[in-house]
Amino acid sequence: VIGGDGSLTGANLFRQEWSSLLDELLTTAKITAEKKELCSHLHIVGMVGSIDNDFCGTDMTIGTDSALHRIIESIDAIVTTASSHQRTFILEVMGRHCGYLALVAALASEADFVFIPEWPPEVEWPLRLCKKIEQERRMGKRLNIIIVAEGAIDREGKVVTAEMVKDV
């Protein structure tokens, strides 16, 4: 089974119920006692497939690299337009409880600001964000990139969304 928490939990539940499922098949005469004995041992192999890259004991979970690649492709696609028109782009990326993708994408794209669940900004983040963008523009920078993980919150636990950042 390759999957996240739900898939691996389901596989474990299936493993726990395996003997009772065999009993049911035997009781309803859908299998023989010999077949039940032959199939009595169920082996399940699980591999974490999660874009969040939040599993201990592995450098990178299956799916993380692909998700990051797509995010960087999206950023690359908007950079030329944003720069030529002096724009600020706000990208919301996957990561309900884990800001790995947002943080690595921010580093790779030299984003001006990043919001991740693990490092909530101070309550006055809107003021700091405006000052940062104003400073960048005074220095001649024509492009600003802000990345928001979908699970980002501030230090009071209030959700920070891409729409909120846009409204600032």
- Residues classed as catalytic: 52
- Each residue of 50-68: b (16+ CB within 10 Å) or e? bbbbbbeeeeebbbbeebb
Q: Please answer whether residues 46 and 5 qualify as being in contact, where contact means their C-beta atoms are separated by less than 8 angstroms.
A: no
Q: Please answer whether residues 64 and 52 qualify as being in contact, where contact means their C-beta atoms are separated by less than 8 angstroms.
A: yes
Of how many residues is the chain composed?
A: 168
Partners of residue 145 on adjacent β-strands? 89
Q: Which of 124, 111, 114 is nearest to 158 (CA)?
A: 124
